[in-house]
Amino acid sequence: MRLYIAEKPSVGRALAACLPAPHKKGAGWIETGGGVVTWLFGHVLRQAEPEEYDPKLKRWRAEDLPILPDEWRLVVNESAAQQFAVVKGLIERADEIVHGGDPDREGQLLVDEVLDYLGNEKPVRRILINALDDKSIHDALGDLRDNRDFLPLKRSALARARADWLIGMNLSRAYTLAVRRAGHDRLVLPIGRVKTPTLALVVRREREIENFKPATYYLLDAVFRYEKTGESFHARWKPSEERTPLDPEGRLVDEKAAQAALSSFGTEPQDAKITRYERKKKEEPPPLPFSLSALQVLAGKRYGYEPQQVLDTAQKLYEEKLTSYPRSDAEYLPVNQHKDAPKILGNLAALADTPLGAWAREADAKQKSRAWNDAKISAHHAIIPTTVPVNLARLSEVERNIYELIARAYIAQFHPNYVYDQTKVEVTYHGELFAASGRTERAAGWRVMYRTGKSESEDAEKEDEESAVLPPMKKGDAADYVSAELGTRQTKPPTRFTPATLLQGMKEIHKYVKDEAAKKMLRDVSGIGTEATRASIIEDLIRRKFLHAAGKKKVLTPTEAAYLLIDALPDTMTYPDATAVWEDRLHSMAQGEGTPEDFLAGQAAFARDLCAAALTATIAGGGGVPCPACGRGIMLKRKGKHGDFWGCSAFPQCRMTANDAGGKPDFTGKRIPRSAARASGPRPSAPAAPTYAPRGSYTPTADEQAEMDALFFGD
């Protein structure tokens, strides 16, 4: 029996529908003439919790950190136990298994970890389903591969999952205990290998805005007349740093110098010389089809959609068989997929009275853009429409907008390049340099599709400046100075992140890396996090109230808890340098370089160093009375089973406790549990005040320790 294991029920049902009849449905499986299809529910196995390795680890104690498993354990998720039993029974009956996880690292691990957990030794083949339409699945069925070819993907995903456990479990405990020692009662700091540097991006951006001081700078634009034709053109003064005071960004900030230059240019007019004239024909290919991140960023900027909303919508379009696999980090397409172009374009051309229809009818299905590149393809390709016709009227507004973005990017691959003349001119006048640039369109090509609605180009302002039409000139020709105008501008603070731009920052993390060597290395790496997790990371930071999203655009600002967390951690955790390098190593592992063991050894050392740093971390206090025993902790009022009492926030390292006296700690003596006194009578008077020795000198009673344990750690 051949057994197909899909990642989720929807994929399983679509796969079964493409296998020969007869079909027989069961509880968690479908039997077909071509084998049995079953499915998982995402991760049916989870990483074991610390207390599942050792029950004592349920209590959070600094002395137990870091927690470094000798052998990693997986546990069956309770919610998936029934389906897991179905899969287990079918594997035992199978002669051959076909791995049908999603075509990415996570999808590879999802099924592989089940096979490894059950000790499978039967042959395993791999099917890569990039879309759920019948044609795509039939093509995938005809191209089964050996699952061993994808071992590097599995190793990379496994290393990622275990690294996230090591960093998250250990540092969350270490720094939660640290902030509690500082008096931040009940505060929990979730720390993640990707989540924390992402939060730090927002915190640092907000501080840049808070500390920003606007500055005025000056621009001087001159008008020259080309002598041979009498045509006028504008050119901007490029002041020399040797003769004119400029700021570090090369801007003229001295008004007196600007006014002096303006006056001098108008006196004793001289002939101006064309010292450079360059005109080149240039071609710009269409933008590549979408990866998930690119789709999320553009949909966020154009429509204000949040990244998770875009992912959920793309997932629905995929399950409706209208678009290909959404969790893709690729922006390229396999060459053999080009044969589907006539069918896809034909379906889109049938959309009467729509821009998509008009653009598709003008497309050339034989054309092959740079997007068709097998060398850029791993397990999956860019998000594109499938061969299934779409009824736009049946889609919601959000679904329609996302589909149209995906379809437009696909159609653009079959339109000609944008062709234009790029002109650059330099003029010398009064010993000073003036420059101008212009762009003259020759053929709009694919750009006709991107001239509707709001501009989507980040360089739109720059393009406007370069759109001037300049007369044909030659180097050495003369020009006359006509006039000049002085303009002022103000520097602007950096803009706050939105979910879309923060996701873009995660993907383009090299822009925020301090180390120049790492920055250069990481330019071509897809950032921190994965296509599937970036949106959920941002959403979780908002849900946990580390980020506040305000307004229609969901502008992000950090909360007090965010400042506290980022300030408590060393730079190695909050700057993306280390995380970005780790992502690069994971990426390399997916290409066959490196092992999980070597990678995790580095992660363990990192966790060990930061757990040690947490013991002496400088954290802003949460208020309260300083502990007289250790001098580091804060005395916090507690409600115990014997009444109110005060305990040191540095517990269990410091075990100082005190009686409550009118809402304040009473340091005149050791607290006596109520159980040791008469049940209904007053508590005995306290003995003389002790002399407090250094940290650790006080030992609470068994009852007191139990109360503190319950309050800090719970059971």
- What do you get for the CA distance between the two ends of the chain, in Å? 48
Distance between CA atoms of 287 and 408, rounded to whole angstroms? Answer: 10
Number of H helices, E strands in the chain: 22, 22
The answer to whether 557 touches 548, Cβ cutoff 8 Å, is: yes
Distance between CA atoms of 435 and 426, rounded to whole angstroms? Answer: 4
Three-state DSSP class for residue 557: strand
The answer to whether 272 touches 479, Cβ cutoff 8 Å, is: yes
In terms of Cβ atoms closer than 10 Å to its own Cβ (0-12, 13-18, 19+), residue 235 is buried
The answer to whether 627 touches 654, Cβ cutoff 8 Å, is: yes
Q: What is the arrangement of strands in the sheet containing 145-146, beginning at the earlier edge strand? A: 24-26, 29-32, 35-39, 2-6, 96-100, 124-126, 145-146
Q: How many residues are given for the chain?
A: 715
Q: Which two tokens stand for residue 713?
A: 């750690």
> Measured in whole angstroms, how far is the alpha carbon of residue 685 from the centre of its chain?
60
- In DSSP terms, 96 is beta-bridged to 2
Angle, helices 151-181 vs 560-568, to 10°: value is 100
Candidates 435, 464, 480, 485; CA nearest to 236 is 435
Complete DSSP assignment for 61-106: -GGGPSP--SS--EEE-GGGHHHHHHHHHHHHH-SEEEEE--SSHH
Q: What is the arrangement of strands in the sheet containing 664-666, beginning at the earlier edge strand? A: 625-626, 634-640, 643-648, 657-661, 664-666
Complete DSSP assignment for 598-635: HHHHHHHHHHHHHHHHHTT-------SEEPTTTSSSEE
Three-state DSSP class for residue 287: coil
Distance between CA atoms of 192 and 170, rounded to whole angstroms? Answer: 10
Among the listed residues 325, 403, 429, 698, the single catalytic one is 325
Tell me whether the omega of the peptide bond preceding residue 20 falls within 30 degrees of 0, making it cis.
Answer: no
Angle, helices 105-117 vs 151-181, to 10°: value is 90
Phi, psi of 29 (to 5 degrees): -160, 160
Q: Where are the alpha helices (DSSP H) in 417-475?
A: 460-465
Distance between CA atoms of 715 and 710, rounded to whole angstroms? Answer: 7
Candidates 73, 67, 27; CA nearest to 48 is 73
- In DSSP terms, 441 is beta-bridged to 420
Residue where the block lists tokens 């410091």: 654
Whether 429 is a known active-site residue: answer: no
Beta strand 232-238 with 432-443 is antiparallel
Q: Could you list the active site residues? A: 325
